[in-house]
Amino acid sequence: MKHILAIGTATLLLATPVQAEPGKWTDEPVRIVVTFPPGGTSDLIARVLAQYFESEYGQKAVVDNRPGAGGTVAADFVAEQGPDGTTLILGNNAPFTIAPTQFEELPYDPMGDFTHIAYLGASTPALFVQPSSGITSIEDYIARANGDGITYGSSGVGSITHILGQAVDVALEIEQIHVPYQGSAPAIQDFRAGVLEAYYDMVALNGDLITEGETQPIALAAPERSPLFPDIPTFRELGHDIVIENWTGVSAPAGMDPEMVKTINDTIGAIMQMEPVIEQLAKFGIAHTPMTSEEFTAFVEGTITTWAPLIRAAKVNG
């Protein structure tokens, strides 16, 4: 009987999967889920993280692009995975700040279904106009909008650039004509062809156009001026309290062990302080701001409340 019991116990032990130590990854590669297609800023940031996860910490990581439905496709997928640290999402405004107000029903709870682990940073959009338009100040822009009217392009209905356009309408008491595009690239293409008088886009991604004089930045929707383009004033310093940034962070399914949360937060924090990473992200206009998981969680929750009236005003509810 003892032998039978011993064999049965051994069989049970063999059938039980080996669990990783608290705060340590398993042998499985980490999957970093991205809410946009390959080639965009989010995708590139995810690939930077994946590269340094492996080269500096020996943790293999792969990027998994799952675009669609304002980031909710990716977020819903991640919410359904196990909280062992092998599935992460490169989160941003789309699924966590905009979607909770944009859609009447979400397949996930942006707070309850996730562990928000680490804040990476934010890039900032600006208002750009045709250099030949004669508009060189926010006062000129207001006058043109109230006179002949002005047409601007955004990267899509419900996008951060559309929300910014609506915030400008409210704050400046004007009514611009909105033309949504499938991404910022086609909007800029039409702008360069003279179809659009203005557009909103991330300032760092328009560096070449600014330098070559092909676009005229009027105001930046940041708390302070960009170190990359210090000559661009902020809306706030021009007397209009408009601050809308495209934040990026790393989240995971709910229920993650606190030691695993700390491991990932510490790892990302160290990667974000490496000089090559700082230089790479600076090209996207992103400077890292360290946050604990608790601070990042409060930040995400705060953006939902702050952005809700702007999203409703933009009439992008799904």
Q: What is the pLDDT of residues 165-176, one digit of tens each?
A: 999 999 999 999
Residue-level pLDDT at 318: 55
Calculate the dihedral angle through the C-alpha atoms of 100, 103, 105, 107, rounding to the nearest 10 degrees.
Answer: -70
The structure tokens listed for 292 are 């604990």
Residue 93 has pLDDT above 60, yes or no: yes
Q: Where are the domains of the chain?
A: 28-122+246-313, 125-220
Residue 9 has pLDDT above 80, yes or no: no
Residue 64 has pLDDT above 70, yes or no: yes
Mean pLDDT of all residues in 18-28: 73
pTM for this one? 0.80
DSSP code string of 194-239: TS-SEEEEEGGGGHHHHHTTSSEEEEE-SSS--SS-TTSPBTTTTT
| CA dihedral sign of residues 223, 224, 226, 230 | positive
Q: What is the pLDDT of residues 280-314, one digit of tens each?
A: 998 888 888 899 999 999 999 999 998 898 888 77
Residue 17 has pLDDT above 80, yes or no: no
Residue-level pLDDT at 20: 53
CATH T-level fold of 125-220: D-Maltodextrin-Binding Protein; domain 2 (3.40.190)
- Which residue intervals of the chain are DSSP H helices? 2-15, 41-57, 72-79, 93, 99-102, 138-146, 160-172, 184-192, 207-211, 258-272, 275-282, 293-313
Q: What is the pLDDT of residues 76-91, one digit of tens each?
A: 999 999 999 999 999 9
CATH T-level fold of 28-122+246-313: D-Maltodextrin-Binding Protein; domain 2 (3.40.190)
Residue 141 has pLDDT above 90, yes or no: yes
